[in-house]
Structure 1
Amino acid sequence: MELRTYLSILWRRRWIVLVTAVITTAIAAIFTFTTTPVYVSATTLRVATIGSGVIEYGRPDIGYTERLINTYAQIITSGSVRSDIMQQLNLSEPPVIKVELIPDTELIKVKAEATDPTTARQVADAAAFLLIEQSRQLYSGNGQTTQEILRQQIQQIEGELNTARQEYERLLIEDPDNSVAITAASQSIALKERTYATLLEQYENARVGEALRANTVSVVEPAYTPRQPARPRYDLNLAMGILGGLVGGIGLAFLFENLDTRLYTTQEIEETTRLSTLGKIPDAENGKLQIVHLGNGFQPHLEAFRRLRTNILSPDQQQSPYTLLVTSAERGEGKSTIVANLAVIIAQSGRRVAVVDCDMRLPTMHKIFDLPNDLGLTSALAEGVSLVDVIQETAFPRVAVIPSGPLPPNPTELLGSARMWELLAELKESYDVVLLDTPALLSVTDAAVLAPQVDHVILVVARTRSRREAVVAVRDQLLNVNVRSIGVVVNRAEQNGVRAY
């Protein structure tokens, strides 16, 4: 399929594309402008760790740092922290807090969402402050650390050691001869000194160990007050609505094109029928084609019928009678109007034309030429009325019409009778061209019965109305009955910029 074909489809289905784009854009706009805006503020924190307290092969424990950062991430999004922030900021509901871990760093980004930009910043700042406070209590569990316990024990042993020394000095002054008590007091002092030294060593070890595990949470980038909401994104939503509408509309256009089997261009009609195109009748301006006005000046429809006349009647047919059968696949494709106009145009060239309305189901020729329909083809075939009594002259010179007459119960049998052959032979003796207007071939077989009896069959295909499968079926049916010659007339054809010469 060529690019021109794609563009032709899109132009033909342009309203589907435009309506889909407008509807989609409207939905996106309504959603965007009715959605409560959400603002996001973020603060970046650093979890600085000196070490984990565990040394493996000379390297610090990397897993400890990751576990620590993940721990803080869980703490800051916990219900207790969110409840504390809600109470602290007097919020109606717990805030929305999200944490983003920045890979291969000690950084975490805390994001707070709120319908007010100031509130979003306040929530982010409060979350950072609470996390810093929580980090200080992480190892103590809100209780005493090892250093604090050892400090209390050292203070206690210092008091006991001072008391023991005072007792020892008192004994030396007041009871120097009591060697047993003095020795016991001396041993007690020595024991407490050893205990004191041990506690001091343990305290120092605890201080160094906790220093190795110590971590510091600090603010790297404070929270800011957002100027624009994070969602909805007005420009993005509208752009996506327009783009989605256009894409969806184009998809629907091609879907409807595949589902729609009507023939929209003359090229499609020619490719479908694979028959010679005898003429292209432009679409009428008012949507309804009547008999052309044979006046002066350029008329697109008049010129189209003249070209059709030229293509149908060659110079060697000027002296021999010529019979034409005009049919279509379905009703409403304009075959009867084309028959009437073709008759008038052929008569204008000096030929005598007889039009026979063979549509005994929905006849129209008497209406087009404003003739009575009391007697007609049915009268001649079923009742034996003579040709002279059923044929009527029209307001157009050299154009005569045999209307259908009363509607019979068996039109197909009448059209296939020997009397129909005789009637055609009589018409050939008096007229140069005989035009047969027949019913649509898919509805009834009347046209198929008459087709082998005529010199040429014209299949009328109406652009934008005829269905591809119907046209193919009629073409095959006509070819199967061994018609002598067949051609296509495109009705409602594109004018393609035809202008007066």
Structure 2
Amino acid sequence: MELRDYVRILHKSWLLILACLLTGIGLAAVYSILVAPKYVATTELYVSVRAGDTAVTGDLVQGTTFARQAVTSYVDVVDSAIVLDRVIEDLELDTSTAALSGQIVASSPVNSVLIDITVTDHDPGLAAEIANSTGRNFADIVVNDLEKPEGGGASLVKIETIQPATVPSAPSSPNVPLNLVLGALIGLAVGIGIAVLRSVLDTRIHSLHDIGQITDKPMLGGIALDPDAKKRPLIVHADPRNPRTESFRSLRTNLQFVNLDGGPRSFVIASAGPGEGKSTTTANLAISLAETGAKVALIDGDLRLPKIADYMGIEGGVGLTDVLIGRAELVDVLQKWSRNHLYVLPAGRIPPNPSELLGSAAMARVLETLTSQFDYVLIDSPPLLLVTDAAVVSKLTSGAILVAASGSTKKQELAGAVRALDAIGSRLLGIIVTMLPTKGPGSYGYGTYTYGMSHDLEGTFDVDATRERPRGARS
């Protein structure tokens, strides 16, 4: 993944990341409120070795060295049972030696004769008392018991308290600011992790980069999502000033620069699977092309589930199948739509062998006739991954255009459709992306690219100089 992919993920999932961030802060705040505060008190001891009045410098050095070596062993004695039993008895504590040992930490700085005794407790006063009592009893045991000469007399080891423990004024934990910062960082990390994982596991088409990983063919246009598309499928005719209508006009402009090498401009418009807006895209594109004054033939080549006749509001009982089997003449079933040069050839009755009919010599003759009489021939076909109809008929045309629905079409499905066309040597001309989000973080991807490119082309080449507004449909 590239940097822009991570930026897109963060932009798209910012609400999720923000929610995780706030959740982390909230949990940290709740923890800080619910957890019992702990207080820390520390007492510091100094260990030395007594020297006689006649001691020389060498004796003093040896005594200091002995004290440093002894301190490392004394640290382990601090929380031993022999010391803590006295502390419990001294302070009349209701606890065990093991439990008390867990509250005490003894340490000594490197190469020093100092011992720090740190006690943690929920009661600040008790923490100080335990620290001081531990220091006193430790010093007494070491001096009078452990280091007492066998022949009697005073011990050479001397342990003094140089810094008694005081009652702490503030708890050492919970550290509310630190907890909030850690909660925010953990929440942020979890949110970003979920966003990245969701993006990695999401196999749907969302960006130009997703399409670029599958095919190097250009994106011819992007069509915005319209929740009311089923109620008014012919948006170009129903609402000429709608922004979605402009996206079809942009698609029309880009299509005019396809197949510049010459030859008939006949295109099969297909999709990988159903429900990707293929039929409505084909119908609206045909209307947009006819607005410029071009002669357009719209063929419903979906002989399994035809929709064009219903969308265009025409009689579909007789159509392409009747022409292919010789029951009707092309001129008799080709219906003029509106006052522009748009003619519609409905599917007719559903045959038992659609693939054979679409790949027949009769179909080739129909297309040859139409391409000789019309500027554009658009064929709506079934999904490529379900049946072979689209692949078969695409061999008889200038090429195929694939429709992919943003946030719906899966990458492997689009790749499968591309492979299906490549397998029979059909030419893929480009991709049309439908159902683009109009709001939210994901709305920036295709729209900016498509509209920007299309408006520039329209302004440069003035392809709409002869545009004529549609005046209504005729059934």
- Taking structure 2 as the reference length, the TM-score comes to 0.78
Matches within 5 A, 1:329-478: 329-381=272-324, 384-387=327-330, 390-394=333-337, 397-428=340-371, 431-478=374-421
Deviations 1:43-83 (A, max 9, x none): 1111122369x999865266642453344333331234334
Shift of 1:286: 3.9
The question of 1:229 aligning with 2:171 is answered: yes
Kindly name which structure, 1 or 2, has the bigger radius of gyration based on alpha carbons. 1
Structure 2 residue corresponding to 1:259, chosen from 201, 205, 219:
201
More moved, 423-432 vs 113-122: 423-432
Shift of 1:448: 0.9
Separation (CA, whole Å) in 2 of partners of 1:139 and 1:250: 59
Shift of 1:312: 2.5
Shift of 1:283: 1.6
Shift of 1:440: 2.0
Give the aligned partner of residue 447 of structure 2: 495
Give the aligned partner of residue 98 of structure 1: 105
Secondary structure of 1:220 counterpart: strand
Separation (CA, whole Å) in 2 of partners of 1:466 and 1:55: 92
Shift of 1:256: 3.2
Shift of 1:105: 1.2
Inter-CA distance 265–316: structure 2 relative to 1 (3 Å threshold)? closer
Structure 2 residue corresponding to 1:84, chosen from 76, 83, 86:
86
Shift of 1:274: 1.1
Structure 1 spans left out of the alignment, 5+ residues? 148-206
Over aligned residues, Cα RMSD in angstroms? 3.8
Inter-CA distance 362–57: structure 2 relative to 1 (3 Å threshold)? farther
Inter-CA distance 281–421: structure 2 relative to 1 (3 Å threshold)? same
Matches within 5 A, 1:202-241: 210=154, 213-241=155-183
Inter-CA distance 287–298: structure 2 relative to 1 (3 Å threshold)? closer
Inter-CA distance 116–372: structure 2 relative to 1 (3 Å threshold)? farther
Q: Is the CA contact 1:343–1:353 (under 8 Å) kept in the aligned structure 2?
A: yes
Inter-CA distance 230–484: structure 2 relative to 1 (3 Å threshold)? closer
Secondary structure of 1:442 counterpart: coil
Give the aligned partner of residue 41 of structure 2: 41
Separation (CA, whole Å) in 2 of partners of 1:383 and 1:79: 107
Shift of 1:468: 3.3
Shift of 1:245: 2.4
Q: Is the CA contact 2:401–2:431 (under 8 Å) kept in the aligned structure 1?
A: yes
> Partner letter of residue 45 of structure 2?
L
Q: Is the CA contact 2:357–2:363 (under 8 Å) kept in the aligned structure 1?
A: yes
Structure 1 residue corresponding to 2:139, chosen from 120, 132, 152:
132
Separation (CA, whole Å) in 1 of partners of 2:94 and 2:342: 92
Shift of 1:438: 1.1
Give the aligned partner of residue 441 of structure 2: none
Deviations 1:91-127 (A, max 9, x none): 3324321111222111111111111222211211221
> Partner letter of residue 274 of structure 1?
D
Secondary structure of 1:82 counterpart: helix
> Partner letter of residue 17 of structure 2?
V
Give the aligned partner of residue 118 of structure 2: 111
Give the aligned partner of residue 129 of structure 2: 122
Separation (CA, whole Å) in 1 of partners of 2:428 and 2:74: 91
> Partner letter of residue 322 of structure 1?
R
Q: How many residues align?
A: 434
Matches within 5 A, 1:170-319: 210=154, 213-270=155-212, 272-277=214-219, 279-284=220-225, 286=227, 288=229, 290-294=233-237, 299-313=242-256
Secondary structure of 2:235 counterpart: coil
Q: Is the CA contact 1:416–1:450 (under 8 Å) kept in the aligned structure 2?
A: yes
Separation (CA, whole Å) in 2 of partners of 1:10 and 1:140: 67
Deviations 1:340-397 (A, max 9, x none): 1111111112233232222233333233224454444344445834445644454574
Shift of 1:2: 5.5
Shift of 1:400: 3.5
Secondary structure of 1:261 counterpart: coil
> Partner letter of residue 40 of structure 2?
V
Q: Is the CA contact 1:394–1:400 (under 8 Å) kept in the aligned structure 2?
A: yes
Q: Is the CA contact 1:55–1:61 (under 8 Å) kept in the aligned structure 2?
A: no
> Partner letter of residue 366 of structure 1?
A
Secondary structure of 2:281 counterpart: helix
Separation (CA, whole Å) in 1 of partners of 2:56 and 2:139: 26
Inter-CA distance 282–314: structure 2 relative to 1 (3 Å threshold)? closer
> Partner letter of residue 471 of structure 1?
L
> Partner letter of residue 20 of structure 1?
C
Q: Report the structure, 1 or 2, having the larger helix content.
A: 1
Separation (CA, whole Å) in 2 of partners of 1:50 and 1:17: 65
> Partner letter of residue 276 of structure 2?
E
Deviations 1:398-429 (A, max 9, x none): 43333334444432222222332233344446
Inter-CA distance 488–297: structure 2 relative to 1 (3 Å threshold)? closer
Q: Is the CA contact 2:300–2:346 (under 8 Å) kept in the aligned structure 1?
A: yes
Separation (CA, whole Å) in 2 of partners of 1:256 and 1:368: 37
Shift of 1:242: 1.2
Secondary structure of 1:37 counterpart: coil
- Taking structure 1 as the reference length, the TM-score comes to 0.74
More moved, 400-409 vs 307-316: 307-316
More moved, 117-126 vs 483-492: 483-492
Structure 2 residue corresponding to 1:146, chosen from 129, 151, 167:
151
Deviations 1:444-472 (A, max 9, x none): 22111011101232222333333334333
Secondary structure of 1:443 counterpart: coil
Structure 2 residue corresponding to 1:69, chosen from 68, 71, 80:
71
Secondary structure of 1:435 counterpart: strand
Separation (CA, whole Å) in 1 of partners of 2:136 and 2:64: 26
